[in-house]
Structure 1
Amino acid sequence: MQKLRSVKEVPQDLTNTLVNIIELRADFELAMVEQYSPWLVNAPTVDSRLFVAKLVSDELNHGWQLVRLLEEFKVKDVIERISNARLGIHKLEVSNLPLFNWEDVIAFTFLVDGAGLYQLKILKDCSFEPLSTLASSMIKEEESHIFFSQNELRNYQNKNRMQGAINFWFPRAVEMLHMTWSLNETHLRDLNISDLTKNDLINGYIKTTNEELKKCGYNEVNYDKALHYNVVLK
């Protein structure tokens, strides 16, 4: 499909799918601001506090860039819903869970934010050019988050505690991808978002992530758990 350079060029039947994708991503980014914010003061070292400050700044900027993109679609109700969302009422269940300890922060960043990065690498090829451009600009910052969390995983002293956090967050990251790609598959292909099936995409994330975890000294995770989250894309 040829590049769509503005909202005016988007076919009517693809508009709702694009809005759903952007809304879900914006809500995810802004939810992370809430989840990470307590660790601005509770992170264990000065370096880790600086890292969290970058996380919060980056995710807040990403969220509002996506909201500004939604403004071009004239969807005031969607923007209002994103603006009013708080922990407990975000669209993805993984976005409604607090990060109770530092192991949660690191595992969440590597796995859940990592799933978000995986999504961005697919969205950068989207035929809707404003979303493609924005996704491409976000990737470098997200990669820096994963790089830091990977180093923390590799050097963490209490491997058992960290493995527990990994076991908790891994299936939720996978479920997040399931929910993200539960949109109309024909529309996704028409937008050049992916020519792979949802299962191929998710299996690729699982395989790559488990390989990286093994390199960092952790066990592979049995991700095939019955986590049934009720996500309604409006």
Structure 2
Amino acid sequence: MQKISNVKEVPQDLRNIIIDIIQLRADFELAMVEQFSPWLVNAPTAEDRLFVAKLVSDELNHGWQLLRLLEDFGAINIVNQIQNLRLGIHKLEVSNLPLFNWEDVIVFTFIIDNAGLYQLRILKNCSFEPLSNLASNLIKEEEYHITFSKNELKNYNNKNRVQGALNFWLPRAVEMLYQFKTLNETQLKDLNISELVKNDFIDNFIKTINNEIKELGYSEIDPYKNLYYNIALK
């Protein structure tokens, strides 16, 4: 697969889909800043507050880097639009939901960051090198977020409350992944990232995350029984 090293080399027919991918991801990262920010002061312990501070800083930096890529494409209107989005009008529905309690925070980090990490691992193979390189750089920080949340889940006292949060957020993660299926598969194939819209990609994510859920001492979840949207996903 021929690599594309800068924006000027991107074929005209691939520009819009690259912009769409970056736009969705940038909004996702910046929405998390909004979702997590209340927990900078409300997290249960000083250690938890330090974690949230790092998470917010990481996601803000991720969003900022993605916006810079959009600026390289000259998509200034899109950059301005993303910067003005707020809870309730973000592009991905998972980004429009507040985190009401600490169980939501740690489960959201574990489930939704895992879904985002699955996407990054595909995007790092993208033939558009600036996006590929950025995805590779983001992976390590996302893995740290997930490791912290897994430790919290493993040692959490109220298992029932966590199970309820897991039951809620896994379907939201699946919905998030399905929202990417509107992207053009042929163009994604040209960019070496067509796995983003494959059903087996989503099925593998569900299987993997359920295995981890069981290892942490919680019950396996069928996300298709608790979907936010009344749409046929299979």
TM class by shorter chain equals: over 0.9
Is the deviation greater in 33-42 or in 73-82? Answer: 73-82
- Corresponding residue of 2:185: 185
* Alpha-carbon distance in 1 for matches of 2:54, 2:196: 33
Report the residue type matching 1:51 in the other structure: F
Unaligned runs of at least 5 residues, structure 2: none
Mapping for residues 56-205 of structure 1, pairs under 5 Å: 56-195=56-195, 198-205=198-205
Q: Is the 8 A contact 1:93 1:229 kept in 2?
A: no
* Alpha-carbon distance in 1 for matches of 2:68, 2:202: 29
Report the residue type matching 1:45 in the other structure: T
Instruction: After superposition, give the CA deviation of every residue in 1:169-220 in whole Å (9 maximum; x if it has no partner).
Output: 0000011011123200111111001357520110110000000000000001
Report the residue type matching 2:17 in the other structure: T
Is 1:3 the counterpart of 2:36? The answer is: no
* Change over 3 Å in CA distance of 1:229–1:56 after alignment to 2: farther
Report the residue type matching 1:93 in the other structure: E
* Alpha-carbon distance in 2 for matches of 1:53, 1:171: 27
Q: Is the 8 A contact 2:112 2:169 kept in 1?
A: yes
* Alpha-carbon distance in 1 for matches of 2:120, 2:29: 12
1:77: how far off?
A: 1.5
Number of aligned positions between the proteins: 230
Moved over 2 A (4+): 194-197, 225-230
- Corresponding residue of 1:228: 229
* Change over 3 Å in CA distance of 1:128–1:103 after alignment to 2: same
Report the residue type matching 2:156 in the other structure: Y
1:76: how far off?
A: 1.6
Unaligned runs of at least 5 residues, structure 1: none
Report the residue type matching 1:20 in the other structure: D
Report the residue type matching 1:179 in the other structure: Q
* Alpha-carbon distance in 2 for matches of 1:57, 1:18: 25
* Alpha-carbon distance in 2 for matches of 1:62, 1:208: 25
* Alpha-carbon distance in 2 for matches of 1:208, 1:195: 16
1:44: how far off?
A: 0.2
Q: Is the 8 A contact 1:178 1:198 kept in 2?
A: no
Q: Is the 8 A contact 2:115 2:177 kept in 1?
A: yes
